A and B are shown apart, each in its own frame.
Chain A
Amino acid sequence: MDRFNLNSQLEHLQSKYVGTGHADTNKFEWMVNQHRDSYASYIGHHALISYFSVAQNESIARVKFEFVEKMLQPCGMPVPRDE
């Protein structure tokens, strides 16, 4: 497999699957992906969201809503990339 083809395949993967890493992924991007994946998993697993909900004493719908909101910027404002 030549190098050109490999790159295009990677690009295809990155566009298709959000969160696929690449050579230039920085720590911030990696963390953001980790957090978003985690929040999505918490929302999907009913037992986990119940656990959070009991601990925080909020309704499940409220906890879900806050989690989706947090997915927007899970690690705060993006850090500028150093070129």
Chain B
Amino acid sequence: MFLYNLTLQPPTSINVAVVGHFSGTKQQEIVVSRVTRLELLKADPNSGKLQTLLTHDVFGIIRSLTPFRLTGGSKGVRFFNKLDELLRKLFLKIKNYIIVGSDSGRVVILEYNPIKNKFDKIHQETFGKSGCRRIVPGQYLAVDPKGRSVMIGAIEKQKLVYILNRDSAANLTISSPLEAHKSHTLVHHCIGLDVGYENPVFACLEMLTYYELDLGLNHVVRKWSDPVDARANMLFAVPGGNDGPSGVLVCSENFITYKHQRVPELRVPIPRRRNPLEDPSRGLIIVAGVMHKMKGVFFFLLQSEEGDIYKITLDYEDDKVNAIKIKYFDTVPIAASLCILRAGFLFVASEFGNHRLYSFTSLGDDNDEPEWSSADFMDPNHPSSVYFTPRELQNLERADELESLNPLIDAKILNLTDDDTPQLYALCGRGAGSTFRILRHGLEISEMAVSELPGNPNAVWTTKLMADDEYDAYIIVSFMNATLVLSIGETVEEVTDTGFLATTPTLDVHQLGDDALLQVRKILVISNVSFHRRVNEWKTPGNRAIVKAATNKRQVVIALTGGELVYFELDNQGQLNEYQDRKEMSANVTCLSVGEVPEERQRSRFLAVGCDDNAVRILSLDPDNTLEVLSTQGLSAPPQSLSIIEMMDIETDASHGTLYLNIGLQNGVLLRTVLDNITGALTDTRQRFLGARPVKLFRVTIQGQPAVLALSSRPWLSYTFQSRLHLTPLSYDMLEYGSNFTSPQVPEGIVAISANTLRIFAVEKLGTVFNQAVIQLKYTPRHFILHPPSRNFVVIETEHNTYSPLEKKKVLEAKQKMGIQFDQNLLDLPSETFGLPKAEAGKWASCIRVINPFIGETTSLIELEENEAAFSIATVNFHNQNNESFLVIGTAKDANLAPRTCSVGYLHVYQFVDDGKSLKLVHKTQCDDVPLALLGFQGRLLAGVGKALRIYDLGKRKLLRKCETKAIPNCIVNLHTQGNRIIICDMQESVHYASYRQHDNRIIIFADDTTPRWITSTVMVDYDTLAGGDKFGNFFIDRLPAETSEEVDEDPTDIITSIHRTTLVAGGREILVYTGIMGDIGVFVPFVTREDIDFFQTLEMHMRNEAPPLAGRDHLQYRSFYSPVKAVVDGDLCEQYNLLPLEKKKFIAEELDRTTAEIQKKIEDMRVMAAF
């Protein structure tokens, strides 16, 4: 078996986010690390929407990121024109670079290139071994605020300091590393101190130690070291130089302390939430924070592990700090990173769940929130717990959200709605923010308007009045025997005095020249807008009907019955002139297309004509050889629709693109062919099946770039995103006809018709390939299962470290008895934002939920009490109950995480009642350990209880143990069966193959894996073969050695949480689909032929040489971190072929003895044949 690994959705978790002027303009961007990917985001200052500009797979693990700016500027965008010198100087001042700390044992400096839209690697310095190791730097990065040097540190001992400078040509230089090692120290955090222009100082939290880089001596010295609170975990730099007093804020459990050399420390407690359920002995730490400076004022926003943000200000004169002050600001999801943008936004990169952008409505200066000052806490005997009252957002307002599946805990791929492609049902999130999500492949659309029409229209257009109008003026809807004209304004209303004839159907509408409108019906009608609606008409000869028309702003082509083409062109006076000759085609014309007129040109040079003899011909529109056939392409079916369009898919040049001819066939296939813009030759055809109906094509604009709307049994969009062509379905109803739509309210939309409705919608999020429907859950979900007869899902949710509802009530009653008063409002705060109250380790809350995925509703919810927690779920058709389907749930009472113990385990048996909408408890059976794996097996229950594997039968009062084996080393986490074979997955010791012998009722283990693996999820590929993932992010396939032993191995770096054998596209092959905890979804596609294997292996080898990963990790080493990669080709690396510069593409193509187009086609085919 040989597999091709592809990512369908990259990880959605963010571990670091930084803000800066990366493209060198005034606007700030955000660079986020999605662990294995680097992504550049832009927040639109007006709409507050986040937009992804670039994402790049670095094939490594990014652990830290920091932006920096060289003092006095840096080399900005490379300008070739001397006149731009002034501009360039402006750029010099603000351009930010990015330093990446990863697992590569290298420090990498990147620059964003806005012209090519890519990250350029400027420096890469090796300092140690690769991998996330204890003493190899990469975990911490600290940069001097003036951009003079950077410190890169490891968790233990090693710290290296690099000096950054500029050479005479203004290029960034990096020195050799200076060591600041200190043995026997563990570092919690590392920052660059703001010291103005004095020697750079780095503060490390080992004790609190200042390392000074002496720029004169080129040497790092340990300048100052002072003990801090033993539970200190984080540092923040206080502005220095002219902006503030310098120093650091040391965040420790319950306290924030200001410290600096030679000044007394100041300490303020972190205010705690007023909550009757809180455990006062539990410490509170700061998990994220950000400092913001503006016009001589600065403040910190620090977030606690509950999600509460505090605003911290310093009261200082000159260099002397008098007090630090803290007040409650707002509560947002717990962040991995916080970023403040100057445009007034706060970006919260959540550690779990959706990432959010908030806009500031105030800075919390003048509200009546209590403020605490360090001056009140100088006395060590002073009670140091202070409390605030949490509330809804007051200073922030949510502006946008980036959807994130992280953590993706379990998933299933099923086609419950009988669509073309299956849906992915996923359990995501943690705690009260958990969700059940239904993912469908397709772009999300936002519907702006739906209005009913007086009949079923067959076409719709929009048009401007004048060439330089910004917005469309009319929507024209054509019916069987009439035309309706609607004007676009505040509302959409019917208008009559437009020059359009309303009593006949319309074939085409276009704005022509500077100020004319064209309506094609039985005759051509040109109405002039500026000259009192003067109307010109052109009648067809001999009353022959116009069957098709194609127009752009200067050219008109019409096809008459019988296959005759008439060509018109606008002259310089704005007169439409007919070309003297007409062209007789050999067959009936079914469709026509002319491209848009290129900028600064008179005309589009090509006309595409589709005829019912299954051919498309390209005709020249040049004055030299007008209407001459340039090329022909034969088709498998009659063409339905054509579209010549220039797509901006060249990375190196944003202003030019490739000319494509899109052909929609009547059998539902879309062909895309490159149209040579000089000769008109057709090359490099790509083919895709869109649906069961003929494909109609419409030119639209998406994010300012041309795109094609392709309508079949579902709507598709062919667009460019990050300089790459994509063809993706829209998650929307079937449409009949579409057109571009722009208005002041909807700057970029599409108007379309579906049955008797007119719809206006926009496509906004181009990067996400899955469209999500969300159902809110209560606790962290663990597993779920489908009840096939009712198509309902049963989800088990289990949360550690919190109170169950009954327990909560008990605690509150006890407190009330003790006479403690509390505010009920505090308990009623929505737990999705404020979280569940933390109890103590060993306390559990758990529930069983029945969900109807179609209406997104919970039909039944059973809370488990008595500190019981559900861990496993299965449906079993018991043979002694007429094969009725029962639900079995494995729970544990008083479960402890480490060591894994429980006071008693239970197996609950439930009966589905009320058509599968709710559950009825049949009985509970005790067992001695945590049941982590359950499975129906030959009409009985197979249960992995700790290290014991048992078979149970359903009895009247409890489950009856029929058979047991204890030959498994640690703990059973996963079970599979086929026939008499049972595959048992152990928590640490990989898989064991067993057989159930009916005649003596025994389970015999006959084979096990030689590699120890900490299994997370597995799936049976066939009777002998098993695919699985482990906790270190390895993917493997084990096959029972019959004659040959086989094993495939790869390291996709994310922990696989579920694997499925399924097909994703209609008529596609069976593939393996996996989901990872960080929210990524990927596939393994088995190769069919030996040639393909050779081809992709060679391509992968060349890619490793020609395009080494951006963060400096060696690709082969990265994929082979735990065990050598075997029999898997990394498709993500192969797909980066499209991003290579032309010379490298050509070089690799020559090595492979193919053309670049062939290679690109093969890469694309590999993806579209199996997945999307």
Chain A residues with a Cβ under 8 A of chain B: 17-19, 36-37, 40-41, 43-48, 50-51, 53-62, 65, 68-69, 71-72
Instruction: Flag whether B648 is at the interface (Cβ < 8 A).
Output: no
Instruction: Report whether B334 and A59 are in contact in the complex, using a CB–CB cutoff of 8 Å.
Output: yes
A56: which B residues are within 8 A, CB to CB? 800-801, 897
Other A-B contacts than A18-B183, A40-B154, 8 sampled, CB-CB below 8 A, are A41-B131, A44-B63, A44-B103, A46-B61, A48-B1031, A50-B1077, A61-B234, A61-B305
Q: A71: nearest residue on chain B (CB-CB)?
A: B186
Instruction: Flag whether B406 is at the interface (Cβ < 8 A).
Output: yes
Q: A59: nearest residue on chain B (CB-CB)?
A: B305
Q: How far is the CB of B477 from chain A (nearest CB, A)?
A: 52
B334: which A residues are within 8 A, CB to CB? 59
Given contacts A43-B155, A48-B1055, A51-B1077, A65 and B61 within 8 Å (CB-CB): no
Neighbour of B288 across the interface among A46, A48, A61, CB < 8 A: A61
Q: A18: nearest residue on chain B (CB-CB)?
A: B135
Neighbour of B134 across the interface among A40, A59, A62, CB < 8 A: A40
Given contacts A36-B134, A36-B156, A68-B155, A44 and B139 within 8 Å (CB-CB): yes
B234: which A residues are within 8 A, CB to CB? 61
Q: How far is the CB of B939 from chain A (nearest CB, A)?
A: 34
Q: How far is the CB of A71 from chain B (nearest CB, A)?
A: 5
Residues of A contacting B: mostly: helix
Instruction: Report whether B305 and A46 are in contact in the complex, using a CB–CB cutoff of 8 Å.
Output: no
Q: How far is the CB of B490 from chain A (nearest CB, A)?
A: 48
Instruction: Report whether A62 and B285 are in contact in the complex, using a CB–CB cutoff of 8 Å.
Output: yes
A48 to B1051, CA, bound (A): 14
Q: B351: nearest residue on chain A (CB-CB)?
A: A60
Instruction: Report whether B1078 and A47 are in contact in the complex, using a CB–CB cutoff of 8 Å.
Output: yes
26 contacts between A and B (CB under 8 A): A18-B134, A19-B134, A19-B135, A40-B139, A43-B155, A47-B35, A47-B1055, A47-B1076, A47-B1078, A48-B1032, A50-B352, A50-B406, A53-B352, A54-B407, A54-B409, A54-B430, A56-B897, A57-B801, A59-B287, A60-B336, A61-B285, A62-B287, A62-B305, A68-B155, A69-B231, A72-B186
Q: How far is the CB of B10 from chain A (nearest CB, A)?
A: 13
The 0/1 profile, CB within 8 Å of A marked 1, for residues 232-256 of chain B is 0110000000000000000000000
A40: which B residues are within 8 A, CB to CB? 132-134, 139, 154-156
Instruction: Flag whether B1054 is at the interface (Cβ < 8 A).
Output: yes
B1032: which A residues are within 8 A, CB to CB? 45, 48
Q: How far is the CB of A2 from chain B (nearest CB, A)?
A: 28
B802: which A residues are within 8 A, CB to CB? 57
Given contacts A18-B134, A18-B135, A57-B801, A68 and B188 within 8 Å (CB-CB): yes
Instruction: Report whether A61 and B233 are in contact in the complex, using a CB–CB cutoff of 8 Å.
Output: yes
B407: which A residues are within 8 A, CB to CB? 50-51, 54
A58 to B838, CA, bound (A): 9
A45 to B133, CA, bound (A): 10
A43: which B residues are within 8 A, CB to CB? 132, 139, 155
Q: How far is the CB of B1041 from chain A (nearest CB, A)?
A: 31
Instruction: Flag whether B157 is at the interface (Cβ < 8 A).
Output: yes
Instruction: Flag whether B373 is at the interface (Cβ < 8 A).
Output: no
Instruction: Report whether B139 and A47 are in contact in the complex, using a CB–CB cutoff of 8 Å.
Output: no
A62 to B286, CA, bound (A): 9
Instruction: Report whether B61 and A44 are in contact in the complex, using a CB–CB cutoff of 8 Å.
Output: yes
B156, B231, B285 interface centre (most CB from chain A within 10 Å): B156
A60 to B407, CA, bound (A): 12
A46 to B139, CA, bound (A): 11
Instruction: Report whether A57 and B61 are in contact in the complex, using a CB–CB cutoff of 8 Å.
Output: no
Q: How far is the CB of B323 from chain A (nearest CB, A)?
A: 27
A50, A55, A68 interface centre (most CB from chain B within 10 Å): A50
Q: How far is the CB of A68 from chain B (nearest CB, A)?
A: 6
A47: which B residues are within 8 A, CB to CB? 35, 1033, 1053-1055, 1076-1078
Neighbour of A53 across the interface among B103, B154, B186, B351, CB < 8 A: B351
Q: B288: nearest residue on chain A (CB-CB)?
A: A61
Instruction: Report whether A46 and B15 are in contact in the complex, using a CB–CB cutoff of 8 Å.
Output: yes
Q: B102: nearest residue on chain A (CB-CB)?
A: A44
A61: which B residues are within 8 A, CB to CB? 233-234, 285, 287-288, 305, 351
A55 to B431, CA, bound (A): 11
Instruction: Flag whether B13 is at the interface (Cβ < 8 A).
Output: yes
A18: which B residues are within 8 A, CB to CB? 134-135, 156-157, 183
B133, B155, B188, B801 interface centre (most CB from chain A within 10 Å): B155
Neighbour of A71 across the interface among B155, B351, B1033, CB < 8 A: B155
A50 to B138, CA, bound (A): 19
Instruction: Flag whether B799 is at the interface (Cβ < 8 A).
Output: yes
A51 to B408, CA, bound (A): 10
A17: which B residues are within 8 A, CB to CB? 135
A73 to B548, CA, bound (A): 81
A60: which B residues are within 8 A, CB to CB? 287, 336, 351
Instruction: Flag whether B331 is at the interface (Cβ < 8 A).
Output: no
Instruction: Flag whether B528 is at the interface (Cβ < 8 A).
Output: no
Q: How far is the CB of A5 from chain B (nearest CB, A)?
A: 24
A45 to B155, CA, bound (A): 13
A48, A56, A59, A62 interface centre (most CB from chain B within 10 Å): A59
Q: How far is the CB of A33 from chain B (nearest CB, A)?
A: 9
A54: which B residues are within 8 A, CB to CB? 352, 407, 409, 430, 780, 1077
A53: which B residues are within 8 A, CB to CB? 351-352, 430
A58 to B284, CA, bound (A): 11
Q: A62: nearest residue on chain B (CB-CB)?
A: B305
Residues 186-200 of B contacting A (Cβ, < 8 Å): 186-188
A-B pairs, 4 with minimum CB distance: A44-B132, A61-B287, A40-B134, A59-B305
B186: which A residues are within 8 A, CB to CB? 68, 71-72
Q: How far is the CB of B180 from chain A (nearest CB, A)?
A: 15
A18, A47, A60, A62 interface centre (most CB from chain B within 10 Å): A47
B157: which A residues are within 8 A, CB to CB? 18
Q: A45: nearest residue on chain B (CB-CB)?
A: B132
The 0/1 profile, CB within 8 Å of A marked 1, for residues 117-145 of chain B is 00000000000000111110011000000
Q: How far is the CB of A45 from chain B (nearest CB, A)?
A: 6
Instruction: Report whether A37 and B430 are in contact in the complex, using a CB–CB cutoff of 8 Å.
Output: no
The 0/1 profile, CB within 8 Å of A marked 1, for residues 871-904 of chain B is 0000000000000000000000000010000000
Residues 20-75 of B contacting A (Cβ, < 8 Å): 35, 61, 63
The 0/1 profile, CB within 8 Å of A marked 1, for residues 431-457 of chain B is 100000000000000000000000000
Q: How far is the CB of A47 from chain B (nearest CB, A)?
A: 5
A44: which B residues are within 8 A, CB to CB? 61, 63, 103, 132-133, 138-139
Q: How far is the CB of B58 from chain A (nearest CB, A)?
A: 13
A17, A43, A55 interface centre (most CB from chain B within 10 Å): A17
A54 to B305, CA, bound (A): 14
B132: which A residues are within 8 A, CB to CB? 40-41, 43-45
Q: B133: nearest residue on chain A (CB-CB)?
A: A40
Q: How far is the CB of B336 from chain A (nearest CB, A)?
A: 7
A57 to B357, CA, bound (A): 25
A6 to B91, CA, bound (A): 56
B1031: which A residues are within 8 A, CB to CB? 48, 51
Q: How far is the CB of B987 from chain A (nearest CB, A)?
A: 13
B305: which A residues are within 8 A, CB to CB? 58-59, 61-62
Q: How far is the CB of B407 from chain A (nearest CB, A)?
A: 5
B352: which A residues are within 8 A, CB to CB? 50, 53-54
Q: B135: nearest residue on chain A (CB-CB)?
A: A18
Instruction: Report whether B13 and A51 are in contact in the complex, using a CB–CB cutoff of 8 Å.
Output: no
Instruction: Report whether A37 and B1077 are in contact in the complex, using a CB–CB cutoff of 8 Å.
Output: no
Q: A61: nearest residue on chain B (CB-CB)?
A: B287
A60 to B63, CA, bound (A): 13
Q: B63: nearest residue on chain A (CB-CB)?
A: A44
Instruction: Report whether B233 and A65 are in contact in the complex, using a CB–CB cutoff of 8 Å.
Output: yes
Q: How far is the CB of B246 from chain A (nearest CB, A)?
A: 25
Instruction: Report whether B1078 and A46 are in contact in the complex, using a CB–CB cutoff of 8 Å.
Output: yes
Instruction: Report whether A59 and B351 are in contact in the complex, using a CB–CB cutoff of 8 Å.
Output: yes
Neighbour of B431 across the interface among A36, A57, A65, A69, CB < 8 A: A57
A48 to B13, CA, bound (A): 13
A64 to B780, CA, bound (A): 20
